[in-house]
Chains A and B, each alone.
Chain A
Amino acid sequence: MISAASGVVTPYTVPGWLMDALQATVLVLVAAAATGVVLIRQRVRQVVALSVYGLLLAVLFLVFQAPDVSLSELSVGAVALPILLLLALAKVRERDR
């Protein structure tokens, strides 16, 4: 998405105030998701919350005009990190059995 203030006109241009509103909304969602990740106490639910947080961060980076960082955060934060955490939790849980 490109904001109209830069003078470039493409099929994806949006007005400036719309971009501001979008950024503010996603920032609020990210702050709420971060609070959720810290406050949830059951382990597996916390890992799922971390995955949702990674997805929201990827959307935030996209809205900040950084598609490369968004790609990285999506594949790392929503896939690779939860897999590693779940494997470690499985190992730790199995000994408690």
Chain B
Amino acid sequence: MTPGQRRWVFLVAIAALAAFYLWGLAGLPGFGNYPGPYGTIIDHNAAAQTHATGVVSAVNFEYRGFDTLGEEFILFIAAIGVSTILRHLRGERERPAREEALDRDDAMAADAIRMTALLFVGPAVVMGWYLASHAQTSPAGGFQGGVVLATAVMLIYLAGQFLTFRRISPVDLTDAIEATAAGGYVAVGVAALVMGLPYLSNFLPLGGTPGAVGSSGTIVVISLFVGVEVAAAFVLIVSEMLEQTLLVPEGN
């Protein structure tokens, strides 16, 4: 099929999709007129039931906690998939890391960029940890905190410290941390089972003030585990991709 024919088939298909989309759009209540009862009920009752003032995190880790467990495992399996696909093939050998670091150093950016990147590592770690541990009080949560923590580690690589990046994130250690955190989330659910409650019930004390740091029971614990797992998964993915640039085919 030539590119011209492909374009015509695409236009016909998009016209059909647009027709169905407009037909479905005609049945919606319009932008800004959200009618549904579910969201309103959760808004009114979440702060009183779970003592968490961040209702989105309460929905994520408490009302729909099982769903979030599934999403976290999608992330886990994607990281495993990247490790498996990017394994060493037959006929490839790895250049020593020191040679590669010297090569990269020559083409590196200005000193100002490296300095700024290094200066931001500390605040990024603090910010990531704050986001991962304050899920119930404000716009925060495990997923955002994990990504910011991973960014802090990536900043070390971007500042030109390639060898330091490899030394602080060895693949085995990152694998172990990620697996422990993912298992921790499952273990919180199993702990509720051991006490005779349904899986993933909130069995820890809810705390006095809604929105205080120690309040809302298992939401804090789950959010910390999710944050560590997401950070480890992203650091693992980036180190696997970086290792690829070290591989050369045999005979070079």
List residues of chain A with CB under 8 Å of any chain B CB: 67-68, 71-72, 75-76, 79-80, 83-84, 87-88, 90-91, 94
Task: Please state if B139 and A83 are interface contacts (CB–CB under 8 Å).
Answer: no
Roughly how many angstroms separate A84 CA and B241 CA in the complex, as a whole number?
Answer: 8
**Residue in contact with A68 in the complex, picked from B144, B150, B244, B245, CB distance below 8 Å:** B144
Taking the closest CB of chain B, its distance from the CB of A45, in whole angstroms, is 18
Task: Please state if A76 and B147 are interface contacts (CB–CB under 8 Å).
Answer: yes
Contacts of B56 in A (CB 8 A): 68
Roughly how many angstroms separate A76 CA and B244 CA in the complex, as a whole number?
Answer: 22
Roughly how many angstroms separate A90 CA and B141 CA in the complex, as a whole number?
Answer: 33
Q: Is the interface of A mostly helix, strand, loop or mixed?
A: helix
CB contact under 8 A between A71 and B144, given known A80-B150, A80-B151: yes
Taking the closest CB of chain B, its distance from the CB of A5, in whole angstroms, is 10
Interface size for B (C-beta < 8 A) is 22
Closest residue on chain B to residue A85 by CB atoms:
B241
Contacts of B141 in A (CB 8 A): 68
Contacts of A83 in B (CB 8 A): 154, 158, 238
Task: Please state if B241 and A80 are interface contacts (CB–CB under 8 Å).
Answer: no
Task: Please state if A68 and B238 are interface contacts (CB–CB under 8 Å).
Answer: no
Roughly how many angstroms separate A90 CA and B144 CA in the complex, as a whole number?
Answer: 27
Task: Please state if A87 and B245 are interface contacts (CB–CB under 8 Å).
Answer: yes
Interface residues of B in 174-193 (CB under 8 A from A): none
**Residue in contact with A71 in the complex, picked from B131, B154, B234, B242, CB distance below 8 Å:** B131
Q: Does B148 contact A (CB under 8 A)?
A: yes
Q: Does B129 contact A (CB under 8 A)?
A: no
Contacts of A71 in B (CB 8 A): 131, 139-140, 144
